[in-house]
Amino acid sequence: MSDLHIDDFYRDAARILAALYAQFPRKATLYVEDICGPDTPDEFGLHSPRHQACFHTMMWLGSCDYLRYEQAVRQEALDQVVLTHRGFLLLSSAMPDMPAPPPLSESLLESLPIEGSLVIHRIRQELRDGTSYSLAGVMQALMLMSRTLGDVPRFV
């Protein structure tokens, strides 16, 4: 049995990365409620633990160089968010467990990599049709790929 907060982390991280990839290279405001659903703060104005966990997932992705942002808007959003160079390279890379495509003629080489083999495609597929377990596997593979990517030059 998995820990539900870890399943939520993987799902939130996948949704955040997919949303930013769909906006790339434009900067966007990323709202917590768009990722994890609506939240009603308590009588003291504190957000639910689920909302806070999603917000901190956004912050964690930033601290691990998957995304960059200019500022946090309270605990409700990140402003001017964009994928980093590392984040973009990871999402647009081929999934390591995908079979290699058959050899193609030189005229078709421009279309490689095939979209269905990209990490972002697998993330979207798992968000749409997968289970928590299969989504966790894809997100773990992404994070392992990040370790092997090494230092990527940073562009401001």
Q: What is the pLDDT along the chain (156 residues), one digit of tens a residue?
A: 468 889 999 999 999 999 999 999 999 999 999 999 998 888 888 899 999 999 999 999 999 999 999 999 998 999 999 999 999 999 999 887 644 444 545 554 454 455 568 999 999 999 999 999 999 999 999 999 888 776 555 544
pLDDT of residue 43: 84
Q: What is the distance between the alpha carbons of residues 126 and 11, in angstroms, rounded to a whole number?
A: 9
Give the chain's length.
156
Pure H helices in 37-84: 49-63
**Vertex 120 angle, CA 31 and 48, to 5°:** 30
For the four alpha carbons of 130, 133, 139 and 142, in that order, the dihedral sign comes to negative
**Vertex 69 angle, CA 36 and 77, to 5°:** 35
The model's pTM is 0.82
Query: Distances from the Cα of 109 to the Cαs of 89, 92, 114, 121, in angstroms?
Result: 19, 16, 10, 19
Phi and psi (nearest 5°) for 28?
Answer: -145, 165
- Under 8 Å between Cβ of 25 and 87: no
Q: What is the distance between the alpha carbons of residues 54 and 113, in angstroms, rounded to a whole number?
A: 32
